[in-house]
Structure formats: structure tokens, C-alpha cells
Amino acid sequence: MTELDFAKKINEAGGAAYLVGGAVRDKFRSVVAHDKDYCVTGLDAKTFNQLFPNAAKFGKSFPVYSIEIDDAFCEVAFARTEKKIGAGYRGFEISFSPDVTIEQDLYRRDTTINAMAIEILSGELIDPFGGREDVINKKIRAVSEHFVDDPVRALRAARQAAQFNFEICEETVEAMRLCRDELAHEPSERIFDELQTALKTDKPSIFFRSLERADLLEVTFPEIAQLRGKIQPTHFHPEGDAYEHTLQIVDDVAKINPKPIVRFAALMHDIGKGTTPPEKLPHHYKHEQRGLEVLEKMNQRMTLPNEWKKIAAFVIREHMRAARLEKPGKIVDLLLRIYGLKISVKDFCDIIRIDNHGLPFYLEHAKEIIDELLKIGGKDAPPELTGKNIGKWIFDERIRRFVELYAKET
């Protein structure tokens, strides 16, 4: 079914179909939308189900349908209104009926760039809040005073600023600030979802700087907030304190690696510096050990995906020594442990390269060296060896091979 066929069926039944949300925004950004969402007015659920009996229905508070349009599954929802009756994202009374207009539906949305619609049959743009102008001017602006009804909208505004490299208007920053108390009690998975999306952007630092501007960093990512003011030796870190260093590293890693899990590990690599006692500054002795403790507390607070936590812990523990090893045994051990990660050797080396402004030979050629080491396995061990002795022999032989082939380069 084409988009036009979908809209005609809605229209013939007495309703209207609109393209809404990100697809409209991206049209004015001259960007091809990854997916499309639709809003329907003038129909009740019974009529809609009769028109599209194969539509998959989901959603608890209100019905949302998945329908194949133009060879892609798209979300279709009825126009609805929301009324704040309690705390958090569940504290809403939601109403949908054939009488709800598209303008009323757009009014409940978070920012103006997401509060536009295009009537499919006529092509008319419905833009009651100036979203198109804000896209052109690269502004993030709250639709109305109801922005604060859902505190996570503050995170969405910060994420949108990072996603599109737009500036958040001052009045919207003030609205974000009003979300502080409720945001502190929001389910951690909602905060993590916005973090994950922000880490996919070209410049994730904008997300954190936007939260900082609205005085929300302490209640959403206190571990990152603690890095502010933690000065470092200027010889190694001329960019400033641990906060500035961390955001710069994340942005630089984002330029060369698209994976959110790798960018998160980069974000966490110096997280222990936030707990350095003031009297110890500008030095951060044992910040690796303290970083693991901070990561664990963060995990207890928001339950990180297991692999995210594992990779971040490895980077925290190894980022200082990884570029400075000299003994062949320690180099071989590190390379084999990198090989055992669920990220690639390149992923790990991308972080170390950015943090250390380069790589030593054994990391620059890590994949080649690891491939050579793995040629030695249990099948090569002397037949008289058993149990742990086989493993020790394999490791010793790999060290010998490394020394034979690469020691002169390190």
C-alpha cells in the first residue's frame, strides 16, 4: 500500500491522514527520514480496524498501529490530547476521539521542530508553533508551558541539540530547569535511552553541555558532573579539567567510531577523576581503581547493559598502561585480553589513540600481532603436558613468538 492509497482510504471514511514528527522536520532539513509516523483524525478505532484489519495494534494507554506503507512498517496513531494528573511519565490522562484535531495533537508535543504535520492528500503544512522557522534557524524551542509535564522532555531537548547541532532557546532552558525535581525520580531506563541516542550523534558533548546549562547534569549524570573542576597537569591535558578532557575525547572518538558502546567507554575512561580529593589535585593517582567503583555505582543507579559495563570497565582499568607497556609478557597478555572483548581491536585502539595522541607499535599493529599469536594453540603443545601446563606452555610460546617477530619494534 502506498502512502497515497493509505490517505485515500482514511479520507473516504471521513477522516484525514497526516505525516507527523521527525519525517516532517527532516524534510525541511533536506534529510531523508529513516522512518515515518502518521496521525489520523476524524475516525474512531472501530472504523479504522475495519479499514485496516491486518494492522498490528500495540500500546497500553492509547492504540498505536503498525502498518506497511511504501514497503516499510510505519506507526499510525489517532490524534490525542494529554492532561497532567500525576507525577512522571505515567501521570497523564490521555484522550483520543474523532473530535481531536491535528492542532490539538501537535500542541501536546515537546519541541516545535517535532510539532508539524503535512496533510497527505493536499500537501498542506500544519505548523501552528513555528517549527519550520525554528528548523531553518536551528533552534530548539518548547511548544508550550506543558513542556515541563514530562521531565524527560528536558533530556530530549538536550539530545535534539546534539543530534541536529541546534541551539536551545533560553526560555526552553528555563523550562528544562523546572524539570529538575521530577527528573531526579524518573525511571533510569528513560534517562539511559536518551544517553544512548545522544551517543549516536556527531558531537555527544552538546548533550551534556545542554544539561549542564539547565542545571540538570547533577541529577541525570552525577558521575560526569563530578569531573568539573578536577584540574589536571597542563603538560598532558592543556584542554582543561577532567570534564573538558572527557567531553573532548568523546567527541574525537565519535569522529572515527560510530558505535555507542565505544563512545560510552570513552566517556567513562577517566570517570574516577571525579572522586580525586581536592588536596591531591592536579594529580589523579589510582583513578583507574576509583573509576571502577564509580562505574559500579552508576550501574546500580541505572542498570547498564552488561556489555557496556564490561567494555567500559576494561577501558577504565587499562587505558593508562595500554600505551606504555614494555615487557613482552604484559604486552601479549593485554593483546589477548583485547581480543577477548565483544568489541573489535580497532574499537579499543580508537579510544587509546585519541587519549594518548597516538599508539605504540604493538597497538598500531595489534590485529596483525594477535593473528600471529593465535597460530599457536593447544594442538602444538608437547603431548606429555596436561591441564594448566598446556595453557602455560601456549602463553609462553606466544611470548616467545612475539619477541622473535616484534620485540625489536617496541
Residue in the block written with cell 526560555: 171
Question: Which triple of cell numbers denotes residue 77?
Answer: 496513531
Cα(59)–Cα(78) distance, integer angstroms = 12
Closest CA to 394 of 332, 313, 312, 327: 332
> How confident is residue 153, by pLDDT bands cut at 50, 70 and 90?
very high
Decide if pLDDT at 34 tops 90.
no
Locate cell 497532567: which residue? 84
pLDDT 10s digits, 295-313: 999 999 988 999 999 999 9
Residues 107-126, mean pLDDT to the nearest whole number: 96
At residue 76, the pLDDT reads 95
Q: Crossing angle for the helix pair 205-213 and 152-164, nearest 10 degrees?
A: 140
Q: Which CATH superfamily hosts domain 1-131?
A: Beta Polymerase, domain 2 (3.30.460.10)
Q: Whole-number mean pLDDT of the chain?
A: 92
Give the pLDDT score at 406. Answer: 85
What pLDDT score does 133 carry? Answer: 97
Helix (H, G, I), strand (E, B) or coil at 28: helix
Looking at residue 281, its amino acid is: L
> Can you give the pLDDT at residue 187?
87
What is the DSSP code (8-state) at residue 393?
A: H
268-286 per-position pLDDT tens digit: 999 999 988 887 777 777 7
pLDDT, greater one: 351 or 386: 351
Q: What percent of the chain has pLDDT over 70?
A: 95
List CB contacts of 93: < 8 A, sequence separation 6 or more.
82, 83, 84, 85
Weakest-pLDDT range from 282-286, 343-347, 399-403: 282-286
The ranges assigned to domains in the chain are 1-131, 371-409
Give percent above pLDDT 90 in the chain: 75
Per-residue pLDDT at 62: 78
Which of 27-41, 52-66, 95-109 is predicted with the least confidence, judged by mean pLDDT? 52-66
3-state secondary structure 259-310: CHHHHHHHHHCCHHHHHCCHHHCCCCCCHHHHHHHHHHHHHHHHCCCHHHHH
What is the mean predicted confidence (pLDDT) over 172-181? Answer: 95
Residue range 220-255, pLDDT digits in tens: 999 999 999 888 676 666 777 899 999 999 999 999
Could you read off the pLDDT of 69-106 as tens digits, one per residue?
A: 998 899 999 999 877 666 656 666 778 889 999 999 99
Q: What is the mean pLDDT of residues 105-124?
A: 96
Is residue 68 over pLDDT 80? yes
Query: Rounded to the nearest 5°, which phi and psi values hold at 168?
Result: -80, 125
Cα–Cα separations (whole angstroms), residue 331 to 82, 102, 168, 351, 378:
59, 63, 47, 17, 21
* SS3 state of residue 324: coil
What pTM, to 2 d.p., does this model score? 0.89
Region of 282 (left: φ > 0; alpha: ψ -120 to 50; beta: rest) is alpha
Instruction: Give the residue from 14, 37, 11, 15 showing the smallest Cα distance to 24.
Output: 37
Cell digits for 301?
543507579
199 in Cβ contact with 192 (< 8 Å)? no
Q: Is the dihedral of CA 128, 130, 133, 134 positive or negative?
A: negative
Average pLDDT over residues 38-67: 89
- Beta carbons within 8 Å of 106's beta carbon, 6+ residues apart: 20, 115, 116, 117, 126, 128, 129, 143
* Cα separation, 151 vs 155, whole angstroms: 8
* pLDDT value of residue 91: 62
Provide the pLDDT for residue 85: 66
Q: What is the mean pLDDT of residues 128-156?
A: 95
| Cβ atoms of residues 40 and 79 within 8 Å | yes
